[in-house]
């Protein structure tokens, strides 16, 4: 279900407080604006840089300091006439201002009034940081990342010349590599591949994805030639390997965690008692996630 479809359901059900978690604000705003045009709803947006902007009206005068006031933006929802439809106020990156008791109270009042006036306060934010006082006031919606069809549409829009776009299995590899990227990240990765290799290749996409993982600070991506059976948990584990087999194995820290992704039918359980593992199978993706704490004997 798309963002606009879920949002339409919540508006019809009169959830006056909606929190949309998204890393792609421009795309989310376009989708919300398209929905409002289709349903003949009124829409206004606010951010700290541009101030309040109401669809179909003239922007405020330059230098208007009240336009950048977050409290005034929340109270502006009271002046929006829903009529027979609905009025939506989208507050971009508003989580930054919810540490103020005055703003939290104003948001709570607007959401309570919105249930009868059909005015809807929507926070658009990359994170889900709702103050305790407002937790019960908001329903949460996640703006999904692009699926394979959308990624293919993006790559075809970038690779417009002959021989720039691979076909068949090679195109599937590119789309596999781009899975999990935002639209902005995918566009950048595809463009980088064109600049570097004059065609779309998965290597540039993987490079951008590894940077994304590195920014998280939780995990890094290594693309090497090692085999999983040399890391333990297969037919030969470091605990019962011969000296020659141990010498050929890569050095892995004692408390390392190994993530193995592949066909679960081709993997065996750890063969030594010192291996602790958690095995999860996903029937949809046929992926085996194998975390093993390795103890070298």
3-state secondary structure the chain: CCHHHHHHHHHHCCCCEEEEECCCHHHHHHHHHHHHHHHCCEEEEEECCCEEEECCCCCCCCCCHHHHCHHHHHHHHHHCCCCCCCEEEEEECHHHHCCCHHHHHHHHHHHHHHHHHCEEEEEEECCCCCCHHHCCCCEEEECCCCCHHHHHHHHHHHCCCCCCCCCCHHHHHHHHHHCCCCHHHHHHHHHHHHHHHCCCCHHHHHHHHHHHHHHHCCCCCCCCCCCHHHCCCCCCCCCCCCHHHHHHCCCCCCCCCCCCCCCHHHCCCCCCCCCEEEEEEECCCCEEEEEEECCCC
Residue 283 has pLDDT above 60, yes or no: no
How confident is the model at residue 231, as a pLDDT? 56
Per the CB < 8 A criterion, the answer to whether 287 and 264 are in contact is yes
Residue 72 has pLDDT above 80, yes or no: yes
How confident is the model at residue 277, as a pLDDT? 42
For the chain, list the domains and their CATH numbers. Answer: 3-142 (3.40.50.300), 148-216 (no CATH), 228-293 (no CATH)
Averaged confidence pLDDT in the chain:
78
For the chain, the distance separating the N- and C-terminal CA atoms, rounded to the nearest angstrom, is 52
Nearest to 275 by CA among 255, 289, 261: 255
How confident is the model at residue 252, as a pLDDT? 54
Residue 137 has pLDDT above 70, yes or no: yes
- String of b and e for 158-172 (b: at least 16 CB within 10 Å)? bbeeeebbbeeeebe
Q: Which residues make beta-bridge pairs with 288?
A: 281
- Residues 170 and 200: their CA atoms lie apart, in Å, by 9
How confident is the model at residue 214, as a pLDDT? 75
How confident is the model at residue 106, as a pLDDT? 96
Q: What is the pLDDT of residues 189-220, one digit of tens each?
A: 899 888 988 888 888 888 887 877 777 776 66
Per the model's pLDDT, the better-predicted residue between 197 and 81 turns out to be 197
> Looking at the chain, how many residues does it have?
297
How confident is the model at residue 246, as a pLDDT? 62
Q: What is the pLDDT of residues 141-150, one digit of tens each?
A: 999 888 889 8
Residue 281 has pLDDT above 50, yes or no: no
Per the CB < 8 A criterion, the answer to whether 186 and 178 are in contact is yes
Residue 234 has pLDDT above 70, yes or no: no
- Residues 288 and 263: their CA atoms lie apart, in Å, by 6
How confident is the model at residue 124, as a pLDDT? 96
How confident is the model at residue 250, as a pLDDT? 59
Averaged over 69-73, what is the pLDDT? 93
Banded model confidence at residue 249, pLDDT cuts 50, 70, 90: low
Q: What is the pLDDT of residues 5-36, one digit of tens each?
A: 999 999 999 999 999 999 999 999 999 999 99
């Amino acid at each position: 279900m798309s963002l606009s479809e879920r949002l339409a359901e919540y508006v019809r059900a009169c959830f006056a407080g909606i929190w949309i978690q998204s890393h792609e604000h421009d795309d989310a705003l376009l989708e919300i604006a398209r929905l409002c045009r289709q349903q003949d709803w009124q829409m206004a947006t606010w951010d700290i840089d541009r101030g309040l902007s109401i669809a179909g009206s003239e922007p405020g005068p330059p230098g208007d300091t009240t336009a950048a006031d977050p409290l005034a933006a929340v109270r502006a929802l009271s002046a929006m006439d829903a009529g027979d439809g609905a009025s939506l106020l989208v507050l971009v990156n508003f989580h930054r201002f919810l540490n103020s008791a005055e703003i939290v109270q104003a948001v709570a009042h607007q959401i309570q009034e919105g249930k009868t006036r059909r005015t809807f306060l929507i926070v658009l934010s990359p994170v889900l940081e709702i103050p305790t006082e407002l937790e019960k006031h908001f329903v949460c919606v996640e703006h999904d990342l692009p699926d394979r069809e959308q990624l293919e549409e993006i790559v075809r829009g970038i690779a417009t010349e002959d021989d720039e776009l691979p076909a068949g299995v090679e195109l599937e590899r590119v789309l596999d590599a781009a899975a999990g990227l935002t639209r902005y990240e995918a566009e950048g990765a595809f463009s980088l591949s064109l600049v570097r290799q004059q065609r779309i290749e998965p290597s540039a996409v993987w490079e951008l994805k590894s940077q994304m993982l590195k920014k998280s600070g939780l995990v890094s991506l290594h693309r090497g030639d090692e085999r999983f059976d040399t890391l333990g948990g297969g037919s030969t584990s470091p605990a019962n390997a011969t000296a020659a087999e141990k010498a050929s194995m890569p050095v892995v820290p004692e408390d390392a965690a190994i993530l193995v992704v592949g066909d679960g039918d081709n993997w065996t359980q750890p063969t030594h008692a010192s291996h602790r593992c958690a095995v999860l199978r996903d029937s949809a993706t046929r992926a085996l996630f194998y975390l093993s704490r390795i103890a070298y004997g």
